[in-house]
Amino acid sequence: MPKGCNTSILIFSLMLSTSMVWAQEEKSRHQLEWDGQVIGYASYSPDNDLDVFMGLRYLPELNYGYTFENKSMIDFEISANIYGSVLAHPFDSAKTNGDINPYRVWGRYTGKQYEVRVGLQKIDFGTAMMLRPLQWFDEIDPRDPLQFTTGVYGALGRYYFLNNANIWAWVLYGNENPRGFELLKNNTDIPEFGGRFQYPVPKGELAATYHHRNASSEDLAGFTHYDNIPENRYGLDGKWDVGVGVWFEAVHIHKAKDVGILTNQSYLTLGVDYTFGIGSGLNVTVENMLSIYDKKAFAFDNSSNVTATSFSYPIGFFDNISTMLYYSWESDDFSFFLNYEHQFKKLTGYVMAYYNPETQPGIGSTQIENSFTGPGIRLMLVYNY
């Protein structure tokens, strides 16, 4: 074969190889994923007029990401909350509910030590597990094994320092419904804003958080109606591992206008957990939250204490049992929640038993759908794909 022909073949082979490598690299920069979760649930609560509850929820999710040559990345998430349920007293009366809502719709740019995320997203932070003063932007119920929560509309930026410290900043807009321990609706015409700084300390970390919003008292009976109530929140939390896990969350909320005992709210949660070397390991968590509501800050005229305890024990690789108890010292009310979880090949099953008083101690506005009064049992089956 002529020498020139060999050279041509070699050049063509190099070009083809280079093209294939480039195509493979370009393909690896693109990541497109489609997944989701299907949840079926049913509960029976004999103390309620409508004692049978059944529902189905579908959370489809589409993710796309692209990585640039400098290793920065842009990615997007779009998911929906599609649900339907029926609350009934069999053969007598029934109520149905259902809707299709956006669940997460956001875009994010990630650099070497920072990220910026804009859209409908989940924002949560803090060290407490069951009694959470810093539950400012989510509706997670600690009893819910799926940790379901609606999102908030806004922009969130985070910067990560090389010593593991990090700083957050956010602006929220258009979020009306109360979240967590909020007792007044948001004024949706005025943006909310705030930030958080976390810093590592020996055997743990400390964090300080601030948030400003404008509230509305239109749903507050017996008080002057204000469309615009400036509100400032200040939070401090920390967590350490000193043989046992210990943490705290402290929050003070001040409103600039007189709304009675809701003018000032203060919360302090102290917590501890430890895993005992019993069998597969028994984890025990205890938290206590002091709540203060008063016209004057830190007056202690209207205070209450709630204690929460959880136990969790893995039974082999595929089974786990856990329980939570809440007790209010002032009202002498308690709630109880027991959950048994089993992992099948493609499904996860839950059997839950619970007891709830009329006012559930220490639990803010949440999205869990088994918060019926009195005793009850709940079955749930989850399929992730």
How would DSSP label each residue in 72-90?
A: -EEEEEEEEEEEEEEEEET
pLDDT in tens, 117-175: 999 999 999 999 999 999 999 999 999 999 999 999 999 999 999 999 999 999 999 99
Can you tell me the mean pLDDT for 58-83? 97
β-strand 192-201 against 229-241: which pairing, if any?
unpaired
Residue 272 lies in a domain: yes
Q: Helices (DSSP H) in the chain: which residue ranges?
A: 3-29
Residue 17 lies in a domain: no
Residue 4 lies in a domain: no
Nearest CA to 204 out of 246, 158, 251, 161 is that of: 246
pTM of model > 0.95: no
Residue 118 lies in a domain: yes
Are 66 and 32 contacting, i.e. CB atoms less than 8 angstroms apart? no
For the chain, helix, strand, coil in percent to 5 are: 10, 55, 35
As given in the structure block, the two tokens for residue 33 are: 């994923």
pLDDT in tens, 316-371: 899 999 999 999 999 999 999 999 999 999 999 999 999 999 876 666 656 555 56
Rounded to whole angstroms, how far apart are CA atoms 183 and 308?
22
Residue 5 lies in a domain: no
Termini Cα distance of the chain: 56
* Virtual torsion, Cα 129, 195, 236, 259, nearest 10 deg: -90
Report the domain count for the chain. 1
As given in the structure block, the two tokens for residue 274 are: 């430890």
Residue 2 lies in a domain: no
Residue 1 lies in a domain: no
β-strand 152-160 against 166-172: which pairing, if any?
antiparallel
Can you tell me the mean pLDDT for 290-301? 89
* Virtual torsion, Cα 143, 120, 86, 359, nearest 10 deg: 40
Does residue 28 surpass a pLDDT of 70? Answer: no
Over its C-alpha atoms, the chain yields an Rg (Å, rounded) of: 25
Q: To the nearest whole number, what is the mean pLDDT of the chain?
A: 90
Can you tell me the mean pLDDT for 239-246? 97
Residue 48 lies in a domain: yes
Are 291 and 306 contacting, i.e. CB atoms less than 8 angstroms apart? yes
Rounded to whole angstroms, how far apart are CA atoms 122 and 61?
14
Tell me what percent of the residues of the chain surpass a pLDDT of 90. 76
- Amino acid symbol at 280: S
As given in the structure block, the two tokens for residue 47 are: 């103390």
Q: Which domain holds residue 333?
A: 28-384
CATH of the domain at 254: 2.40.160.10
Beta bridge partners of 3: none
